[in-house]
Structure 1
Amino acid sequence: MKNSFFRFILVVTVVSLTFSCNNSKDAKSNEIQVNDSLQRALTEKTNLDKIANTPGIAGVFDVPEMLTICKMDSAPMKNVSFKVAKNYSVLETEMNEVGAELDGMPGMLTYNNDTANFIFECVLPIKTFPKKQPKTCKIVVLEACPMLIHNFYGPYNHLFNAYDAIRKYIAANKLQQSGPMREFYLSDPTVEKDPAKWQTRIMVPVIKVK
């Protein structure tokens, strides 16, 4: 993984983490056609590689467990970019030290919307459990669960459009967010120079509201 890509993720952090699925008012349910895919997600296992990369909401999928090396941290929003840069650098170093092999693109979990003390977790997917534990990071299996998946294409300062679409879908389908949101940055901007083609996969764990 290129260090230049980790540096570029700072742009994502500053822009995208300012917005959240929990910050805006829910849209009226008639603004979007209801497509209840939660029941399907509960009965089917999904290979992430088979999820369509078409723009917009792909649906609700039963996302399998994901083995990762993670580093959790918190900071005032103004300091988050510095912390993220430091954490990805540590993750890459310790992943190499324990002999783990990268198995996907970098991601981030977000736990709150508090600009005074924003809690986040930088993650790198890995292929197998390493034979030894990293010094400061943790080996974590992200749990399997039904997740609403949205494929966003475009510059990171437009991610708020994706969050707005997610809020509308959740309201229309009578869903509720049930855990931390995950973002994975599937395009490497050091390779793909056109911001309109940068893909961010947003994954929101959901349950049906009774």
Structure 2
Amino acid sequence: MKALKIGGITLLALLGIGLILSLIAPKEMLVERSAVIAAPREVVFKQISTFEKRDAWSPWMKLDPNMKLERTGEDGTVGAISKWEGNDQVGKGQEELKSITPNERVESKLAFIEPWESQADTWLQLADAEGGTKVTWGIKSPMPMPMNIMALFMDMDAMMGKDFEKGLADLKVIAEKEAASAPAADFNVMKVDMPTRWFIALRETVTMEQIASKYAENLPKVYEAVTKKGVAMDGMPCGLYYVWDEAGKKTDMAFAIPVKAKVEIPGFLTIELPAGSVLAVDYYGPYEGVGAAHGAIDAYARENGLKAGAPAVEQYITDPEKEPDPKKWLTKVMYPLE
């Protein structure tokens, strides 16, 4: 009897501890991760608004390439459902598209069946950001008592966040590649003869995420040096791209001011681009979409048996401080022909 009494007291104590833990444990799980993608909203939205497109960047598809999928309804519309059944890492469940705001937000309802039953709301939100489109991927799920005790001992944010980060990284690669591969037919690619051009510049290798901030840092320095020297400018500021390392996510580039004559300024480079033919495109739109103009020149060169060289020149004709509408910003993109 004494043993039973002790056992009963222990059980009550454990139940009491469990009750206390469940009361202080979180009642819902919320995980969010974000990434900035160098592509227009419409390009990114295309990759997040249908189950078919999501398959290409879903981290869970990689966990089980043999996952069984069943789709009902019209993909990319409210009410479409994707059911999955896979290995122990992905389990079994379904996702239903609940709300779609073009080029802005997609909301879904998740129903997990195996390895345990639960439900969750998930969303993909797009927003304008420096350098492109910001994508936020989130999930929220209720955690009923006493199952919520697990949240005190498991870092759900780190566990799910890691998968979200992998998915967003793959989405970034896919969307940026599509943004840069617009067919030449969408742009008027021109072959133009250019005279010798000179630039005063600062050149360095930067990560792609640093490009916008480096423009803001370096172009004012170059402009100040040119004006102090009393050198006549020959147009609006430029970016000269010598190497674009997609795999390494970095670029060798120069932040440059065109000048009318060759001149040396201590601490700065003098760059001379010889006279010759270039392929040129006038691109109108926000800076994050200019990759499509580069893709158009590349496609035109391939179609016509031409070889574009380096550096690629972006000249920013429109001053954003004077023209607030990004759709009216003109960027001239030029590649020298070898």
Could you tell me the TM-score, scaled by structure 2's length? 0.44
CA displacement at 1:129 relative to structure 2: 4.0
CA displacement at 1:138 relative to structure 2: 2.1
1:118 aligned onto 2:251: yes
2:108 matched residue in structure 1: none
2:328 matched residue in structure 1: 197
1:166 matched residue in structure 2: 297
d(CA) in 1 for partners of 2:298 and 2:252? 21
d(CA) in 2 for partners of 1:120 and 1:78? 13
1:56 aligned onto 2:213: no
CA displacement at 1:190 relative to structure 2: 0.8
d(CA) in 2 for partners of 1:68 and 1:200? 17
CA displacement at 1:58 relative to structure 2: 4.3
2:275 matched residue in structure 1: 144
2:5 matched residue in structure 1: none
Q: 1:90 to 1:112 in 2, by over 3 A?
A: same
2:196 matched residue in structure 1: 65
**Structure 1 stretch 75-84 or stretch 191-200: which is displaced more?**
75-84
Q: 1:80 to 1:198 in 2, by over 3 A?
A: closer
d(CA) in 2 for partners of 1:128 and 1:177? 26
2:213 matched residue in structure 1: 82
Larger radius of gyration: 2
CA displacement at 1:12 relative to structure 2: 11
d(CA) in 1 for partners of 2:217 and 2:288? 22
**Structure 1 stretch 195-204 or stretch 78-87: which is displaced more?**
78-87
CA displacement at 1:13 relative to structure 2: 8.8
Is there any run of 5+ residues in structure 1 with no aligned partner, and where? 1-10, 33-54
1:156 matched residue in structure 2: 287
d(CA) in 2 for partners of 1:13 and 1:95? 27
Partners of 1:13 and 1:80 within 8 A in 2: no
CA displacement at 1:84 relative to structure 2: 2.5
Q: 1:128 to 1:111 in 2, by over 3 A?
A: closer
CA displacement at 1:200 relative to structure 2: 0.7
Q: 1:128 to 1:12 in 2, by over 3 A?
A: farther
Amino acid across the alignment from 1:157: E
Q: Percent identity?
A: 27
Partners of 2:192 and 2:278 within 8 A in 1: yes
1:127 aligned onto 2:279: no
2:112 matched residue in structure 1: none
Partners of 2:241 and 2:310 within 8 A in 1: no
Higher relative contact order (CA 8 A, sep 6+): 1
d(CA) in 2 for partners of 1:58 and 1:107? 19
Q: 1:113 to 1:154 in 2, by over 3 A?
A: same
- Higher normalized strand content (fraction of residues): 2
2:307 matched residue in structure 1: 176
d(CA) in 1 for partners of 2:129 and 2:317? 12
d(CA) in 1 for partners of 2:330 and 2:302? 24
